[in-house]
């Protein structure tokens, strides 16, 4: 299928099942209306089966497959069998669902964001969080590179594992 057209059609405000069925009925009429009259064995049975087949797929798939400009009507000269409709729906679903799941959101303009210095100037030292005192950075508990493995608290179990791996 060609995938150049945006198939976003408003669904009626009903239950999901009712709206899917009404969409499938509407689109089945469009699909059948694109072909010559009188090519059915039993038009009622074909129409009911076509609606049932289309109803199993997401709305965007139904719309894409039955679209007169890009769907089955432009690709198949005779009324499609249910198998052809199902194959086209499966192909369209494989194409459209992964794209919908992996759609990349538009980039956010971050050029007008405040710098860290501007944020620090505008907010109190504890960033407005109550019950938290700002850290005293004048006398840090250690300087980088001062800690040794003996300074780090480890559990007895971890110490046994380390000693066992070293031997």
- Along the 167 residues of the chain, how does pLDDT read in single tens digits? 445 455 544 444 456 677 888 999 998 988 888 887 766 678 888 889 999 999 999 898 999 999 999 999 989 888 899 999 999 999 988 876 555 556 667 788 888 888 888 988 888 877 777 766 666 556 666 666 666 666 666 666 666 776 666 65
Measuring CA to CA, which residue among 90, 82, 98, 84 is closest to residue 61?
A: 90
- pLDDT number for residue 67: 93
- pLDDT number for residue 94: 82
- pLDDT number for residue 55: 92
How does DSSP classify residue 123? S
* Angle, helices 16-33/59-66, rounded to nearest 10 degrees: 10
Return the structure tokens found at 139: 């006398």
Asked if 84 and 76 count as a contact pair (C-beta separation under 8 A), the reply is yes
- pLDDT number for residue 129: 76
Residue spans of alpha helices (H) in 6-127: 16-33, 43-55, 59-66, 72-75, 82-101, 116-122
């Amino acid at each position: 299928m060609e995938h150049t057209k945006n198939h976003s059609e408003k669904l009626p405000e009903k239950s999901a099942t009712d709206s899917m069925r009404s969409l499938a009925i509407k689109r089945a009429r469009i699909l059948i209306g694109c072909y010559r009259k009188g090519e059915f064995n039993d038009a009622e049975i074909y129409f009911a089966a076509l609606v049932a087949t289309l109803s199993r797929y997401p709305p965007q798939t139904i719309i894409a497959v039955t679209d007169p400009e890009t769907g089955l009507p432009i690709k198949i000269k005779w009324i499609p069998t249910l198998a052809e409709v199902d194959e086209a729906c499966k192909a369209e679903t494989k194409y459209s669902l992964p794209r919908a799941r992996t759609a990349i959101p538009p980039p956010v303009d971050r050029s007008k964001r405040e710098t860290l210095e501007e944020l620090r100037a505008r907010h109190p030292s504890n960033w407005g969080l109550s019950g938290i005192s700002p850290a005293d950075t004048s006398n840090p508990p250690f300087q980088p590179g001062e800690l040794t493995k003996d300074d780090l608290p480890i559990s007895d179990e971890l110490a046994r594992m380390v000693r066992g791996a070293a031997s």
